[in-house]
Structure 1
Amino acid sequence: MRILLALLLLLPAVVQAAELKLATWNLEWLTARPAGDPALPADVRPKQPEDVARLRGYAETLAADVVAFQEVDGPEMAARIFPPDRYVIHVTGDRVVQRTGFAVRKGIAFAANPDLAGLDLYPQARNRLRSGADVTLQLPGGMLRLLAVHLKTGCREDRLTASDRPACATLRAQLAPLQGWIAQRRAEGVPFVLMGDFNRWMDGRDAFWAALNQPAPLARATAGKSSPCWGGGGFIDHIIAGGAARGWMQADSLRVLVFRETGIEWKRRLTDHCPVSVRFHLPD
Structure 2
Amino acid sequence: MSKIESIRGKVVVITGGARGIGLATAVALEKLGALIAIGDIDEKTVKESGTDHDFEYYARLDVTDIQSFTTFLDDVEREVGPIDVLINNAGIMPTGRLVDETDQITRRILDINIYGVILGSKIALARMLARGKGHIINIASLAGETHIPGLATYNASKHAVLGFTDTLREEYRGTGVAFSSVLPTLTNTELGSGVAAPKGLPAAEPEEIAAAVVRLITKPRPKARVTRAAGAMSVFVNLLPQSAGDALGRSMGSGRAFLDDVDAEKRRAYEERVRGD
TM-score, length-normalised on structure 1?
Answer: 0.38
TM-score, length-normalised on structure 2?
Answer: 0.39
Select the structure that is richer in strand: 1
